[in-house]
Amino acid sequence: MKSRIKSDLLQRYSEPEIDKLLSRCCLVDPRFKKRLSEDVRQVTIAALKKELMELYEGETSKEVTITSMEPPRKQSALSKILDDEPEHAVSVQTTIAEKVNNEFDIYMQMPVANTNQSPLDWWKKEELQFPLLSKLARNYLCICATSVASERVFSVAGYINSTLRSCLKPEKINQLTFLSRNLD
């Protein structure tokens, strides 16, 4: 039984494009990001960085201003009066490439998330820390892994559009299917 399952899985996922997609999905899932082999992980990170750079290439400005807070430094009364700049805010110019590299470095150093936790909830919680990477993660994690949900909708539509109800118009079938699936 195990050998048949293994051969079936190897046959299904033998295409390189599917393998790349699965690696990218695995890397942006905080529960499984470290389960990839080191060489596959590095190739996937490079591909995702390139994809993020292409995503933000159309932006009008390639520089992002980040305001960070410094601890207050001791000043004399005279320097406080003569200083024009606020003492806490520091503006730093970084390029999108630096921001992408920084987000990936921090993300990969973070511990793996609990396997019971939803990856979309994790990214929603960490969106402020990883604004660029969270957008990319949502693009990959929204891919439906199975066709079970759509098969269920087709089954419900089949029950509604039976031989006894064959005179229903398509709009009514759509409405009844929607109500059936969403009123449960």
pLDDT in tens, 74-126: 666 666 666 655 555 444 556 888 889 999 999 999 999 998 999 999 999 99
| 121 φ, ψ (degrees, to nearest 5) | -65, -40
pLDDT in tens, 22-42: 899 999 999 999 999 999 999
In a domain, 64, yes or no: no
pTM of the model: 0.60
175 three-class SS: helix
Q: Kindly state whether residues 110 and 158 are assigned to the same domain.
A: no
Task: Give the structural domain span for 157.
Answer: 148-182
Q: Kindly state whether residues 132 and 168 are assigned to the same domain.
A: no
Write down the pLDDT at residue 59: 59
For the chain, the first-to-last Cα distance in angstroms comes to: 37
In a domain, 9, yes or no: yes
**In the numeric block, which tokens belong to residue 30?**
């905080």
pLDDT band per the 50, 70, 90 thresholds, residue 183: confident
pLDDT band per the 50, 70, 90 thresholds, residue 131: very high
